[in-house]
Structure 1
């Protein structure tokens, strides 16, 4: 699936000497008039802009981080976004405990130093960079490996489901490729944690909430539900794919986010969908963030004949 993009006009990035060559006075440089500071020694030229692709889900914080990365890369060629910064640029669902006040950069230059507040430089023996939306970013597989130092197994699974899925950004890698990377790469930090996460990553997941629900079921010693099982519904002559399900017992679990409630169209479509599944002989349990999980567990066990 090709994801739609919007476009933003980023101001040109110039050094202080380049700004002076463009007619900026010392006062312009000090005050930031027309040439606001990006980072030490680097200015933005608001009179000149370049069009950059931006994901439609990107917010102002995403754009600000992208602009800062471009400015830093202009002053320090060869650096790339890595760790949490790269994960945010990829659109991966980082846990709320991970802050965004640090710009994480990677370099293969062992002598490189960037001593600036808000920037952490990671020197890497093996650095594989890509261009992501015209931004220099560490390869997705390496970024995923790095996140083991700041994420739990559950968070890594959520990120992995997103990275191989198609719910926000295009897939960054295939599950088989990730498995090979983790198993074949030597000296990975927290490798047991990465291996545990990879064992729980599944293809075709649409959202982090689906991952949460699936992992919750596993944590309660329930059978792992299938992701998007195929259900032919004769009343509408279509095959539907509930979020999660137990095909043998014909039990579907549907996670309902707030947009299911606030959108009149989505609400009506959900009703038609549930009716079609039930007419096909399936039981549908609808789940929200406020669902009582103890009751949910009892309902699932009863339907699976585990009580």
Structure 2
């Protein structure tokens, strides 16, 4: 195979033929078609960065990755989407499967790149996502972008003040609700379920330290003054070894005077109403000032099948 063709990078059909590769070879196990007319060695992992590089081989030179694609490249948490999203400041027609084109009148930040790819800035990405995402999804994305230090809450708020397009109000709400040190989108959901219900907002990832200053535990959500911890057990907590570690950790917290409230997937995704009621009762019993009548705003973002508060 001629060395002029680097098959570890996306290449187009004409380049393959010029390098002496037949159509039969391209259809064989040595290569993978990324998009129509774009191929790469099958030894190269199928990653978002590789897919984006392949898309650039068939898109106009002024394409900028945006929306879900930009969010993932920056490290944000967004719902799964099968398309590569690209944006332009002009009308561009693209009927390629797997590529979704957007047009915006606002200018893109100049020379912004992530993994060597042209991409909308983190702030502009959040603004663009305010149309397809809801408040909880958008805040979860903003939380992760702030956690990864690619933007700040201040920068997000400044961007919303300057933005003339649709979605500005929702983007500002998400920016106001985003917090630093949020480990996962599930932690965002737990916190926003409480906030949107009118419950006091818990602290994110509070650190309990040993006498020498090192961190003994980090709590997902907590009210440190009242020693109330709220934690989420995802699927990986079902592992027997992890269960033993969780039980030992929580028993130690209880010995230290903490109340530990454990939430699981069904509490957030199936019966959030019952979860709100439980949290309301727990916080009330510990003397935390809570409203007697809760806000119903949470219902728009959390489907439920159980009793509500």
TM-score scaled by structure 2? 0.76
d(CA) in 1 for partners of 2:173, 2:65: 26
1: CA distance, partners of 2:244 / 2:193: 28
**Structure 2 SS opposite 1:138:** coil
- Give 1:203 deviation, angstroms: 0.9
Matches within 5 A, 1:108-123: 108=89, 110=90, 112-123=92-103
1:174 maps to 2:117: no
Higher strand share: 1
| TM-align CA RMSD | 3.1
CA drift at 1:157: 1.0
Shift of 1:238: 5.2
The Cα offsets for residues 123-161 of structure 1, whole Å up to 9 and x where unpaired, read as 344123533234332222211110000111111111111
Distance of 1:139 and 1:79 partners within structure 2:
14
Corresponding residue number in structure 1 for 2:176: 199
| Match runs of 1:20-59 below 5 Å | 20-25=17-22, 27-28=23-24, 32-33=27-28, 37-40=33-36, 42-46=37-41
Say whether 1:220 aligns with 2:197: yes
Q: Work out the number of aligned pairs and report it.
A: 274
Q: Which residue of 2 aligns with 1:243?
A: 220
1:166-214 per-position Cα deviation (integer Å, ceiling 9, x unaligned): xxxx33212222122222x231322111111111111111111111111
Gaps of 5+ in 1: 1-8, 55-59
Q: Is the 8 A contact 1:231 1:277 kept in 2?
A: no
Matched, 1:285 2:261: yes
Among 58, 70, 73, the alignment partner of 2:56 is: 73
Matched, 1:93 2:73: no
Extract unaligned runs of 5+ from structure 2. 1-5, 268-273, 293-309
> Kindly tell me: are residues 298 and 112 of structure 1, through their superposed partners in 2, closer, same or farther at Cα, counting changes over 3 Å?
same
Query: CA 1:297 to 1:87, structure 2 compared with 1: closer, same or farther past 3 Å?
Result: same
Check the 8 A contact 1:73/1:80 in 2, yes or no.
no
Change (3 A) 1:269 1:36: closer
Between the aligned partners of 2:214 and 2:68, the Cα distance in structure 1 is 45
